[in-house]
Structure 1
Amino acid sequence: MKYFSFDKTQRLKLTRDLTKHIKRGNPWVFSDAVEKIKAPEGTYVLLVSHKNEVLAHGFYSPNINLSFRMLTLGDKKFNDAMVEKRFRQAIENKKHLLSQENKCFRLLNGEGDELPGMVADFYDGVLVLKLDGAAAEAFWKKEAVAEFFMQQTDLPVKCVYFKRKNREEEKGLILAGECDNLTDLEFLEHGVKFRTNIIDAAKTGFFLDQRENRNFIRSVSKDKSLLNLFGYTGGFSIYAGLGGASKVTTVDIAPNAIKASEVNWQINLLSPEKHEALCEDAFEFVAEAQKAKRQWDIVITDPPSFAPNQKAVESAREAYTKIFADSLRLVKDGGFFAASSCSGHISFESFLEIVQEALSKSRRRGKVLLIKGQPEDHPFPFALPEMRYLKFVYLQVFQD
């Protein structure tokens, strides 16, 4: 097999009846629902029911909660032709996003493109590949994946870079082509310039999933003051500045992120005096701003995920409610508040309940003007709502 590792097939038996769950297309099975087998990470397995019916083919991870990731439904052996078909389908679905004004998008979104554990983002010719976890790294042959994208002609890929997690000693490597300026890569998003350090930045180098939400903020920022909490490298801030905001304040605890937000502001030729970039803990900033009775026309609160797993959901709900309530107190009467979450363990319904509770705690009323999620280049299986992870709610806020 060219694109994936295949030694021998093992059988992975369900301990609970998830037949309907699997046949509806949910591609994940967790460790509490299967018999543990002796097999290395990324082993090709047949998922079988308690009646020994083969339900799906996939790969196995013995060491994490997500034990099985589906490759094919039913007793259908996975092969290289299927991989290439899925690559081409992803290209066909996403290539219209490439234009003179937009040079970045997500090309491969794991299970959403039927390529479990494989993510690839396109930045003006640089394709950044990530594999989610040890099982995906063991299963997929990244060099062959890179070779495919270098040889296809529908997208102008000049190099493929493999990115590991930032805490790894070796953060990544160039798989194919020539990758220039990986530490200072510039690209366009809706005509907005950004620079990123692909090697050291979070995820693949940028949070592409907020692209359409950033563009919305540009459309509503004219002559308004805006506070961007957990602002990272200033995505929402730059769009607001280009939308004509009177003053933008970006707050993030990471010095490199704040420095990058200033660079991104500068390369878009925005007035320096209209941007306040603060390297501070957002929670502490909000507390101090409340004491000082500071308020803004628009406040955006987009914190990192408070719920990395299901066990953390209850504490995450409390954390989201508190920071949203505190942030709402910084919005002028009749002003606007954008709340966002990137946690797949918090459903849309739960997120709206959190925002409602935050309004109550802050003694504010809210009028919902917009509810959005991730853009079209971040697809997800209908049967896997956990991958509908991004929530974005835009409210008008009243104090009476």
Structure 2
Amino acid sequence: MNTVEIQLKVKSKFINKYKSGYPLITKEAIINLHDVTEEGTVITLVDERNQFIAKGYYGKQNKGYGWVLSRKEKEQFDLSFFEKKLQKAIIARDSFYKSTETNSFRVFNGEGDGIGGFTIEYFDGYYLINWYSKGIYEFREYIIQSLSKLVSFKAIYQKKRFDTKGTYIEEDDFVAGDRGEFPIIVKENGINYAVYLNESAMVGIFLDQRDVRKTIRDKYAKGKTVLNTFSYTGAFSVAAALGGAEKTTSVDLANRSLSKTIEQFSLNGIDYEAQDIIVEDVFHYFKYAVKKKLKFEMVILDPPSFARSKKHVFSAEKDYKNLLKEAISITEKNGIIVASTNSSSFGMDKFKGFIDTACKETGSRYKILEEYSLPIDFKTIKEFPEGNYLKVVFINKL
């Protein structure tokens, strides 16, 4: 860890933004960003008269160049600093720790809990730290030591997600405790899911969709034919099947999605052979469904914010509207579309604009039934709205 502190000058038009609590250090806001080159360097933000604004650390990630951690000039980013932040976050999740129905949740949500650049998730006694920059990784000993002191655990694992080429850095992910036997079976609102902390960056379930899966199961799935696109390990399909769906169809391009989805169904006592699990490009599948005149009573759309297959490049901001039009064309009258995106580059209003335009362009009437953003364990702050990236809208096609 670099002990030298470097001053960065904030351009005048960004000063009020940082003074009012904006946490992300961005290229366009800083005059002399080139003065700092070493990841993990402590940086002090000052105005053009060298008056103190805030301090944080330098760490390149896809969002920016580091995070503000404190508004106190004399604050030291030492063991006690990290311990206090982690302790506050753990106390705030007390109801999750006590739950008998759910034992998988987010313990620390980056800037929402006061330190941008990493997250911690809990899976039935196992903790997983996701590092998003080399900068925050420089502080890993403080963070791991603090976590080890504050909680009892079966094991701690980590994922380094800061390779400059945008791919996951593969290496041993085990940090402390006793190595797990994978999969570990976790519970979410009474549903079982298999989780692998020793494979890729994606462990088998996206915890931010917990409330959405519960709503599908409890309110909308009963008796319906359900299409789950970009289905990954089939978590939405499992929730729908447990909610009494007549049949689920899961479509994903990745070969592993087949065995992973079979596994999730089987863990919940669902006959996977009565469900359809299809390994195919979702865009091809839409064309096939139109050709075969297939219609579904519920269509779940949860694409990655950016995806590339052999024939398609999908970007949520550019292409979500057209994806919705494809979904509308194979949704039954009075059917439900669950439209979801985790893109932080636009907000809920713009997302609803995509929905409105897609319905108008296909001549469809619709009603919005309910909407979701991140669940409460994914803590966010009002000064950083893009941190609340999840947008889910339940649409009734009239």
Q: TM-score, normalised by structure 1?
A: 0.91
Partner of 1:84: 83
SS at match of 1:218: helix
- 1:95, 1:218 → 2: CA distance? 25
Q: Does the 8 Å CA contact 1:28/1:68 hold for their aligned counterparts?
A: yes
Corresponding letter in the other structure for 1:222: K
Percent identical pairs in the alignment equals: 28
Partner of 2:19: 23
- Report Cα offsets for 1:45-75 as digits up to 9, x if no partner: 1111112111001011478771231010242
Residue 66 (structure 2) pairs with residue 68 (structure 1): yes
Question: Residue 161 and residue 228 in structure 1: after superposition, are their counterparts in 2 closer, same or farther (change >3 A)?
Answer: same
Offset of residue 158 of structure 1: 1.5
Q: Does the 8 Å CA contact 2:155/2:179 hold for their aligned counterparts?
A: yes
Corresponding letter in the other structure for 2:157: Y
SS at match of 2:297: strand
Q: Does the 8 Å CA contact 2:9/2:48 hold for their aligned counterparts?
A: yes
- 1:355, 1:65 → 2: CA distance? 26
Partner of 2:38: 40
Offset of residue 148 of structure 1: 2.6
Q: Does the 8 Å CA contact 1:17/1:50 hold for their aligned counterparts?
A: no
SS at match of 1:29: coil
Offset of residue 329 of structure 1: 1.1
Deviates more, 1:262-271 or 1:69-78: 69-78
- Report Cα offsets for 1:217-251 as digits up to 9, x if no partner: 00121111100001110111001111111100000
SS at match of 1:115: coil
Partner of 1:255: 255
1:232-247 mapped onto 2 (5 Å cutoff): 232-247=232-247
1:197-212 mapped onto 2 (5 Å cutoff): 197-203=196-202, 205-212=204-211
- 2:315, 2:193 → 1: CA distance? 34
- 1:357, 1:206 → 2: CA distance? 31
SS at match of 1:18: helix
Q: Does the 8 Å CA contact 1:306/1:319 hold for their aligned counterparts?
A: no
Q: Which residue, 48, 63, 85 being the options, matches 1:50?
A: 48
Residues matched between the structures, number: 384
Partner of 1:158: 154
Partner of 2:339: 339
Question: Residue 277 and residue 103 in structure 1: after superposition, are their counterparts in 2 closer, same or farther (change >3 A)?
Answer: same
- 1:168, 1:317 → 2: CA distance? 24
- Report Cα offsets for 1:99-135 as digits up to 9, x if no partner: 2211100011100000211111100111010111222
- 1:122, 1:286 → 2: CA distance? 36
- 1:170, 1:318 → 2: CA distance? 31
Offset of residue 201 of structure 1: 4.0
Residue 162 (structure 2) pairs with residue 148 (structure 1): no
- Report Cα offsets for 1:16-37 as digits up to 9, x if no partner: 4322101211101211221121
Q: Structure 1, unaligned stretches of length 5 or more?
A: 309-313
Partner of 1:12: 8
- 2:109, 2:172 → 1: CA distance? 19
SS at match of 1:17: helix
Partner of 1:187: 186
- 2:199, 2:62 → 1: CA distance? 26
Offset of residue 360 of structure 1: 1.6
Corresponding letter in the other structure for 1:47: L
Q: Does the 8 Å CA contact 1:56/1:76 hold for their aligned counterparts?
A: no
Question: Residue 224 and residue 63 in structure 1: after superposition, are their counterparts in 2 closer, same or farther (change >3 A)?
Answer: closer
Q: Does the 8 Å CA contact 1:163/1:204 hold for their aligned counterparts?
A: no
- 1:258, 1:361 → 2: CA distance? 34
Q: Structure 2, unaligned stretches of length 5 or more?
A: 309-313
- 2:55, 2:91 → 1: CA distance? 25
Offset of residue 343 of structure 1: 0.6
Partner of 2:373: 373
- 2:298, 2:62 → 1: CA distance? 41
Q: Does the 8 Å CA contact 1:369/1:394 hold for their aligned counterparts?
A: yes
Offset of residue 275 of structure 1: 1.2
Partner of 2:311: none
Q: Does the 8 Å CA contact 1:192/1:239 hold for their aligned counterparts?
A: yes
Partner of 2:101: 101
Corresponding letter in the other structure for 2:53: L
User: RMSD value over aligned CA atoms?
Assistant: 2.1
Corresponding letter in the other structure for 1:235: A
Partner of 1:311: none
Deviates more, 1:170-179 or 1:249-258: 170-179
- Report Cα offsets for 1:64-106 as digits up to 9, x if no partner: 7712310102424233323211111110111211322111000
SS at match of 2:173: strand
